[in-house]
């Protein structure tokens, strides 16, 4: 592989990727503030934020399951704290804390409420039979029932149902209308989040913001900046709404068959809510009704997302190259099932990709080997014609025709592999499966940078070796630039996930082996032509 072209194409490709992302940020239409579906059949004004937003706090109810450590506040029955027991914190200090209300600078809360005269909103104080709930061995579900005081003859219970081995929580309202008149309430589900936390780094920015999905409009992301400019107000017949961040997602999935309104609200300078509101329908005097919804709150694992709700799998966003990235992730996952080590799985996947491109790469390497063999003659032409560029160009083209060399023949293998490289970049950057996944030795997290920069340095060394296998540039300035570029490129990879650098390092090693073998073969053929060998 021509290292010069490799560097230029990779830089070009990443530049295009970054420019595309910037263009999308600037030109993606904001969700319309007007209804896109027929009006809902019941009052659907979104819940109003209290003036001078301040999250009220009451008593805490502790909940422990095999996957969650949670806290429910008696104010509103909000889910205020949620730790994922099977996922570590970024600093490995304990379980990963997904939701919290401990600071306005880092706020992440799931709320629900009912709208209607005498019905409990997220400001209502609930009571529970106990303050600690724990899932016992052999227990598949854990129910936490909250009750609000009866008002105007209406009694409401709010029930959380946690499931063993799942990141789906059932949330149910049981409404008993003991009054002497019918009521037509609405129910809302929302997530509150700040616009400061979980934004990624400058070198590796990641999306944190709202998202919603409908069958008609598909998957849409809503940035906090867009929420600040204009509230979202979308009427739909189906779908879910949620909060997406790197590796994790929380999504409210209302019961199917009901029309709904998706909305956003700016609560304060740094805090926003995104939610859905649905009509409950009429509840006659003396009757009752149950309203169900699901809350998915956990890691972005494709299989679990697909099993939970249509379109939820799109939160694992591989960008415009999803058509390549998803099969790569599928293959990588199946390899991991066999070898039980994500680093080894990446190495095997790299070998498989290299094997798939072997013949294509070989043609490019043969072309580069021929160029390497005629490099002295090319230099002689340059010395002969000096500054007469036209005659030099004509002589070079004649030599290419005589030797049957395509000077651009080494570009095609690189062009074909660049989409695969970028797709794998998104896979390794966005797959929660690689978060805190160890390889060996000092590499404890393939989704993070190499702490000692060993892999980037080794990759830089392989690029230098590749440079020596390529035909030397005839231009002295270009020659100097190409000596420096592998070093600069290695520094660039200091900020990449170790898994991605591992892929490119193994790819380089395989490329060196293939190019070296082809160079030897072409050199031997050249010697035979000259009569110096057999």
Which of 181, 195, 35, 50 is CA-nearest to residue 111? Answer: 50
For the sheet with 141-147, list strands across it.
Answer: 127-128, 141-147, 154-163, 168-177, 288-299, 248-254, 240-245, 209-214, 218-222
User: How far apart are alpha carbons 58 and 73 in whole angstroms?
Assistant: 6
pLDDT tens for each residue of 335-386:
999 999 999 999 999 999 988 887 777 666 666 666 766 777 777 777 777 7
Coil/strand/helix, residue 209: strand
CATH architecture of 65-317: Distorted Sandwich (2.70)
Q: Which of 232, 233, 214, 235 is nearest to 223 (CA)?
A: 232
DSSP helix/strand/coil, 404: coil
Structural tokens at position 435: 């978060």
- In three-state form (DSSP H/G/I as H, E/B as E, the rest C), the secondary structure along 249-317 is EEEEEECCCCCEEEEEEECCCCEEEEEEEEECCCECCCCEEEEEEEEEEEECCHHHHHHHCCCHHHHCC
DSSP 529: H
Residues of the chain scoring pLDDT < 50: 1-9, 11-43, 533-534
Looking at residue 432, the DSSP 8-state letter turns out to be: G
**Alpha helices, DSSP H only, in 133-237?**
224-229
Sign, CA torsion 118/123/124/128? positive
Q: Rounded to an integer, what is the distance from CA 279 to the centroid of its chain?
A: 33
Helix pair angle (322-339, 411-430), 10° resolution: 70
> What's residue 135's pLDDT?
97
User: How far is residue 251's CA from residue 44's CA, in Å, rounded to a whole number?
Assistant: 20
The pLDDT value given to residue 176 = 97
Q: Parse the chain into domains and list their residue ranges.
A: 3-16+325-530, 65-317
Q: Say what the alpha-carbon torsion angle 75, 77, 79, 85 is, to the nearest 10 degrees.
A: 120
**Is-contact 478 328, C-beta < 8 A?**
no
Q: How far apart are CA 169 and CA 160, in angstroms?
A: 7
Going 290 to 216 to 419 to 326, the CA torsion angle's sign is positive
Torsion over CA: 160, 163, 168, 170 (sign): negative
Range list of H helices, 340-445: 342-356, 358-373, 375-385, 389-403, 411-430
Other CB atoms within 10 A of residue 52 CB: 7
Residue 239 gets the label, from left (phi > 0), alpha (psi -120 to 50) or beta, of left
CA distance linking residue 180 with residue 153, whole number of Å: 8
* 248, 298 Cβ separation under 8 angstroms: yes
pLDDT at 439: 95
- pLDDT (0 to 100) of residue 40: 38
Comparing C-alpha atoms, which of 100, 68, 109, 104 is closest to residue 85?
68
What is the distance of C-alpha 102 from the center of its chain? 26
């Amino acid at each position: 592989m021509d290292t010069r072209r490799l560097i230029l194409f990779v830089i070009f490709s990443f530049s295009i990727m970054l420019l595309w992302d910037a263009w999308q940020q600037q030109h993606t239409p904001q969700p319309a503030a007007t209804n896109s579906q027929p009006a809902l059949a019941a009052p659907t004004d979104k819940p109003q934020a209290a003036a001078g937003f301040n999250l009220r706090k009451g008593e805490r109810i502790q909940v422990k399951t095999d996957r969650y450590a949670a806290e429910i506040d008696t104010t509103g029955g909000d889910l205020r704290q949620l730790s994922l027991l099977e996922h570590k914190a970024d600093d490995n200090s304990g379980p990963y804390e997904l939701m919290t209300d401990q600071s306005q600078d880092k706020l992440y809360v799931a709320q629900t409420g009912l709208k209607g005269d005498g019905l409990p909103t997220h400001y209502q104080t609930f009571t529970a039979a106990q303050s600690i709930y724990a899932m016992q061995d052999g227990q598949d579900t854990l129910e936490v029932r909250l009750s609000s005081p009866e008002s105007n003859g209406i009694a409401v219970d709010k029930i959380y149902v946690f499931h063993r081995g799942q990141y789906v929580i059932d949330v149910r309202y049981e409404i008993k209308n003991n009054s002497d008149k019918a009521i037509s309430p609405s129910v809302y589900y929302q997530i509150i989040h700040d616009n400061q936390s979980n934004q990624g780094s400058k070198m590796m920015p990641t999306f944190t913001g709202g998202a919603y999905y409908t069958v008609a409009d598909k998957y849409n992301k809503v940035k906090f900046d867009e929420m600040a400019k204009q509230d979202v107000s979308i009427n739909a017949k189906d779908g879910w709404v949620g909060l997406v961040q790197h590796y994790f997602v929380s999504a409210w999935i209302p019961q199917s068959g009901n029309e709904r309104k998706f909305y956003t609200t700016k609560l304060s300078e740094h805090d926003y809510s995104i939610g859905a509101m649905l009509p409950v329908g009429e509840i006659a005097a003396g009757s009752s009704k149950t309203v169900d919804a699901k809350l998915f709150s956990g890691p972005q694992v494709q299989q679990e997302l697909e099993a939970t709700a249509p379109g939820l799998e799109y939160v694992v966003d591989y960008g415009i190259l999803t058509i390549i990235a998803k099969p790569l992730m599928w293959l990588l996952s199946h390899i991991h099932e066999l070898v039980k080590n994500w680093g080894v799985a990446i190495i095997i996947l790299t070998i498989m990709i290299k094997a798939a491109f072997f013949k294509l790469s070989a043609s490019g390497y043969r072309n580069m080997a021929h160029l390497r063999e005629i490099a002295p003659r090319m230099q002689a032409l340059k010395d002969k014609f000096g500054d007469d560029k036209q005659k030099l160009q004509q002589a070079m083209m004649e030599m290419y025709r005589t030797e049957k060399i395509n000077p651009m023949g080494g570009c095609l293998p690189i062009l074909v592999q660049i989409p695969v490289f970028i797709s794998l970049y998104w896979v390794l950057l966005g797959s929660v499966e690689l978060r805190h996944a160890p390889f060996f030795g000092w590499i404890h997290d393939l989704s993070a940078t190499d702490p000692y920069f060993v892999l980037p340095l080794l990759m830089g060394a392989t690029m230098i070796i590749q440079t020596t296998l390529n035909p030397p540039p005839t231009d002295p300035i270009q020659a100097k630039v190409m000596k420096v570029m592998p070093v600069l490129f290695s520094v660039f990879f200091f900020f990449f996930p170790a898994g991605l650098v591992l892929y490119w390092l193994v790819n380089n090693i395989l490329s060196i082996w293939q190019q070296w073998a082809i160079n030897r073969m072409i050199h031997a053929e050249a010697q035979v032509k000259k009569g110096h060998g057999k």
